[in-house]
Chain A
Amino acid sequence: MNTSKFGFQVLTDEEVHEIHVASLDLLHRCGMAVHEAKGLKLLRDAGAEVDFDKRIAKLPPRLVEDGIKKAPREFILGGRTTDHDVHVGHGKAAFRVPAGPTYFIDKESGTWREATKKDLEDSARLLNALNEIDYTGCMILPSDAPPETRDIHATEVLLENTEKHVTTVPFTSRSLNSLVRFSKLLSKDESDRRNRPRLSVFVAPTSPLQLSEEATKLLIGCAENGIPINMVSMAVPGGTTPATLAGSLMLSHAEMMTGILMAQIVQPGLPIVYGSRVTPLNPRSGVTTLGAIEVGLASAALARIGHHVGLPVDSHGLNTDSKVLDQQSGFERSLNAVIPLLAGADIISGCGEIESHLTLSLEQLVIDNEIIGMMRRVMRGIEVSAETLASDVIARIGPGGYFLPEKHTREHFRKEYFIPSIIERDSRTMWAKMGSTDIVKRARDKAKGILEKQEAPPYDKDTICGLRQVVDDAQEANCT
């Protein structure tokens, strides 16, 4: 199913097929390095040609294609209540916060500094009030949590402070036990946990053509425990993949298919998001860039490729390399989000980030909430019907009349237009009267207003104690 009503096709069907076939050929001819014996054995038992000394698995195309077919095109990522469930791949794009920023823009002083658990708590509470943002990655890795268990601390803070689904980043497979406990604690029963899992996990192959020991263990562990995976191959054209976008897409697709295949061997039908990224190198400095326009272009192509193999696609989007909330941030994130969105991406990531995912900003979260509202309005399209053509109303009013007092106007203003909350559209006089503010100031005021009023959504005491116990246990296990 093509989720885009508009169907922006950056690649033709033939080109998508050509990339897919080249990836299959690469996996067959060259193979993939899997640095973990259990993973290699699993592939061999399924029919791959495995060299255990070199840790290389060569995959017959039939094995790959039959395997990934078992992954579902649609599924639910569960929220605390069904109102917050994310329906992935059902035809309407979801939007999420990324994983992993470690810095934060201080909401009082506007200065840049290391992020803390309190910042994560604030961000999660704010997220809960922003209706356009559907769920979150790890959001922030707080500097004041112990380094070895920071992932578990962050996950716990998120689960406590937002009702939205969380996709977390386990540092190592040792975190798996805690994640499974979280996941069981938050679901009514086993069928609830399978149907609307509260937690999912990022797993990343390493370009070019490798699955690390930890990634393989995580992948198998998640699959065994029914935890959905957002598979993310991170291609860096010119670095870990060819400089060309086609070559990078093809190589990345090969890595993705290997990971998806392994998960489907362990647990046929496990929900997997096709979350591949193409993140170019800045040719001058060697630093990766998330704001480059090629990110949007490649993301649109990835949406096509992911759909070609029947998976929902998670895409880069609301990203910038800018260090501040300026015009660069505004146009980079808008352009790079709208391009994959029009190409049918099922999930668009990036909400609240600046500085290539290194920094999170509450103001940016509020602004992104507004940008998403605008994009969703575009995706709703234009309804054409007798009611919307309004021929009768026009005929009644006739030449020279006006439509503002009409009931038709009252009824359709709300339906037809996205009404922003912090975008400024008044006359200069009114703008001056309201304090001559820019959007960052208005976003900050709104964020502060929400945080002053809005408490964390309450969980019962037992659940909170249970969640915190998981963190304490992880902490203790790490010390012993």
Chain B
Amino acid sequence: MTDSERALQKVADSVLSFEPDNVVASTREALEAGIEPMRVIEEGLAKGLRMVGEQYEKGDFFLTELIAGANAMKAGFDTLRPLIPKGAKKSIGRVVIGTVKGDIHDLGKQIVTSLLEASGFDVIDLGVDVSSSVFVGKVKELSPEILGMSVLLTTSMPEMKTVIQELKQDGLRDKVKIMVGGAVVTDNYAKEIGADAYGADAVDGAHKATRLVGSNSV
């Protein structure tokens, strides 16, 4: 193993410590050893997160490790962000996400957000109780690849349909893929209101988002 390989392995291992400080430190060391920032991301940070993902698939890790791993990796990524050359692809796509109007349930959306970030997405979280005009305005402003809507209350479900209709009226519907999720949502309901995909749980949501943008990453 060369010195560079050793430094990159240390970055990957630090992700599995789930401590953001460890990841930042190992990332800096790799840079000081003269390794290209993009290589630190691909062969260090992303590799570490893949290792977390593999343990999760095997059943040895829980959701909490998956998310903590993603957060730790993000800390390393933020260190590198200013050094990434302009024009280099920093994410596999942009996602605008929020819990719909009338509903302040945050947990499901937060889990999905963490997993989307772990999958390489750039996620803009609009928070909870988000009105249709804010959803539409952000789609117009940020041109995301995916719009994600979360809901837990049955009473707020129709709000997702309203957002989709307003996107249509503004001629934006074809410019963005729409994903919906939440305990009360079903595959059928998603089809009925004209969404592109439905995430049965957070892991399923992250897989489907990755498929929607046609990427094979994590």
Q: A: which residues have CB within 8 A of B?
A: 400, 402, 404-407, 409-410, 413-414, 426-430
Contact = CB atoms under 8 A, between A and B. Distances in A.
Given A400-B106, A410-B18, A429-B187, A405 B204 contact: no
Contacts of A406: 64, 68
Interface string B195-214: 00000110010000000000
A405 B200 contact: no
A410 B65 contact: yes
Interface in B100-126: 106-107, 110-111, 114
B43 to A, nearest CB: 25
Contacts of A407: 18, 68
B97 to A, nearest CB: 14
B24 interface: no
B71 interface: yes
Interface string B48-69: 0000000000000011110110
Contacts of B110: 402, 404
Contact of B200 (A404, A409, A410, A429): A429
A404 B201 contact: no
B112 to A, nearest CB: 11
A409 B61 CA distance: 12
Contacts of A430: 200-201, 204
Contacts of A427: 200-201, 204
Contact of B71 (A400, A405, A426, A429): A405
A409 to B, nearest CB: 5
Interface in B158-215: 187, 200-201, 204
A429 B68 CA distance: 25
Contacts, number: 41
A414 to B, nearest CB: 8
Interface of B: 18, 62-65, 67-68, 71, 106-107, 110-111, 114, 187, 200-201, 204
Contact of B201 (A405, A410, A413, A426): A426
Nearest to B198: A429
Contacts of A426: 201
A409 B65 CA distance: 9
Contact of A404 (B114, B187, B204): B114
Contact of B62 (A400, A413, A429): A413
10 closest pairs, A vs B, by CB?
Answer: A429-B200, A427-B200, A405-B67, A409-B64, A427-B201, A410-B64, A402-B110, A405-B68, A405-B71, A404-B67
A310 B2 CA distance: 68
A426 B202 CA distance: 11
B106 A404 contact: no
Given A410-B18, A410-B64, A429-B187, A402 B201 contact: no
Given A400-B106, A402-B106, A402-B110, A410 B68 contact: yes
Given A427-B204, A430-B201, A404 B18 contact: no
A405 B111 CA distance: 9
Contacts of A428: 200
A427 B110 CA distance: 18
15 contacts: A402-B106, A402-B107, A402-B110, A404-B64, A404-B110, A405-B64, A405-B67, A405-B114, A406-B64, A409-B64, A410-B62, A413-B62, A427-B200, A428-B200, A429-B200
A413 B60 CA distance: 12
Nearest to B72: A405
A39 B83 CA distance: 92
B15 to A, nearest CB: 13
A431 to B, nearest CB: 9
Nearest to B62: A413
A400 B64 CA distance: 18
A427 B204 CA distance: 10
Given A405-B68, A405-B71, A413-B62, A429 B204 contact: yes
Contacts of A414: 62
Nearest to A414: B62
Nearest to B68: A405
Given A404-B107, A410-B62, A427-B204, 12 more contacts: A402-B106, A404-B64, A404-B67, A404-B111, A405-B64, A405-B67, A405-B68, A410-B18, A426-B201, A427-B201, A429-B200, A429-B204
Contacts of A404: 63-64, 67, 107, 110-111, 114
A405 B19 CA distance: 11
